């Protein structure tokens, strides 16, 4: 079951929009997107490794639809912010570092991935 985040329709004229409120809403939605993406990743792992049930597949579809809705809302807020404050609209959360070869496999423990990433960082280019 997806818990919907209350998003009100803003009926104010554009010149009355509070940019700080939009930024707060955007930040909140980005946090929610991170959480829902983690759940989706977990469900995908269950499905990929053969532990899927009909309810798992249904939940994955539900979570994916909710995630897609969040992405649409996030994108529309970013566009709105860019229109009114181009510098602020382009501010996004720091991108995640690229996955190492080991971290892409969910069966590898985080400790092993961290050791591999640390040793790769010590190697000269």
pLDDT tens-digit map of 33-68: 999 999 999 999 999 999 989 999 999 999 999 999
Contacts of residue 30, Cβ cutoff 8 Å, sequence gap at least 6: 74, 93
User: How confident is the model at residue 13, as a pLDDT?
Assistant: 57
Mean pLDDT of the chain: 76
Is this prediction's pTM over 0.75?
Answer: no
pLDDT surpasses 90 at 108: no
User: How confident is the model at residue 36, as a pLDDT?
Assistant: 95
């Amino acid at each position: 079951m997806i818990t919907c985040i209350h998003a009100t329709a803003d009926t104010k004229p554009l010149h009355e929009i509070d940019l700080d409120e939009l930024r707060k809403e955007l930040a909140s939605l980005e946090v929610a997107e991170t959480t829902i993406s983690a759940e989706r990743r977990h469900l995908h792992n269950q499905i990929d490794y053969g532990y899927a049930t009909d309810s798992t597949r249904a939940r994955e579809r539900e979570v994916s639809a909710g995630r897609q809705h969040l992405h649409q809302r996030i994108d529309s807020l970013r566009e709105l912010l860019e229109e009114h404050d181009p510098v602020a609209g382009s501010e996004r959360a720091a991108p995640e570092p690229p996955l190492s070869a080991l971290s892409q496999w969910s069966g590898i423990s985080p400790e092993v991935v961290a050791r591999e990433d640390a040793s790769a960082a010590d190697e000269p280019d």
